[in-house]
Structure 1
């Protein structure tokens, strides 16, 4: 399934790459999309986390969300059949039923939120390859979007998240996958604005909004386009190879 994490495009295929990216680029305003399921799991085994998103009412009780929720990327398709992966932006609404389409418009994040989401993707999205890492990335997205600042901490603030507790009062234990996802999310959030941690990819983001269903964010890999000097070196190299091959063919017919 194509999830826009990207591929390495060689200079020889740059023309095809431009055509492909034009066809698969994330659509803009008024786009119809259909969520088809979770990217790395089913409804039955998606990783759950315990969240507390404070609302705007007294003590944050009104308009907030508290309890165990499913965390992880959605898979989906655009109206033209191309596939994508998206993460939930708002916890206060339900997602559109899997298999049912919805129309989204393109929104904008604040500069701080957009910068933090981009840093998160550039440094860590390439590591999202299973249900646990997908859940961790989703939790990190919720933290960044909810806090709207550089103070990213799952243990305090407007948004908090913990592993799911299986048991009653002190009798039980934390769900292992949930605990792993929260731990990984904390590690990634601590590195979002740490300049010593290098990027592993280059991503743009698209914010898709719908007044009736969860808003989504899609991260799209930006393919590297060779510099003009690279093209010159490539052509020069091809010329040298062709010259050597020609001379060898010429030498092979001498008696």
Structure 2
């Protein structure tokens, strides 16, 4: 079996971020910071660690801050240099020419539609999809774990995580087949099943490795759950035609699309850092006391 290398990643960042209003009225939700780096920066760093060469951002109105973040800020860098300050802190934000592309999703028609908007840039290659809302902490990173599995089995892969039975109606859920370590054969996918009807408690989390054929399915995909074009529905139609596996992530996931999850991510990240951890830990202990 010939496995094409994974070189491209799609970042759907066109959402409105209504759950974080008013903070996201003028700022993309993907730019919300976990300590001192925006969510989208963590996702891009994860992709780079996994060997991704081209980042494709599917944006919407009001998302210019994301483009500016990954551009060179000449005035800022000139001022910092003039004051003798190191520019190293900005290194991760300066993507090399040709490594980034932007495409506009004019209407918020769902994740499947957002991915489909990148079809011409993806071309006839496998690609990854990363949702910045899912803040993944692991060594190695989530996407690298998935790429290592992809290089062995090929086909399509999704990140899987066990969730509580009363939470399955919030996710796409896997119908599992054979299991081999962290790999689970995917026999079927159900988007947000009604309570008590989920085929397992293995939920689909916001990391995917997909073959380009999914774009042709999305071309004619009808709206599904929530009246949106669901990526899960398109992936389900590929099962049986190509290898399809779930990769159970070895690490911790924080749901930063949720206010409590976002605050937990900030606290956990701060506590793990040498520069701010001791002060935050002391404050937290005093507060809880």
- Under TM normalisation by the shorter chain, which class is it? under 0.3
Larger radius of gyration: 1
Normalising by structure 1, what TM-score? 0.27
Greater relative contact order (Cα < 8 A, sep 6+): 1
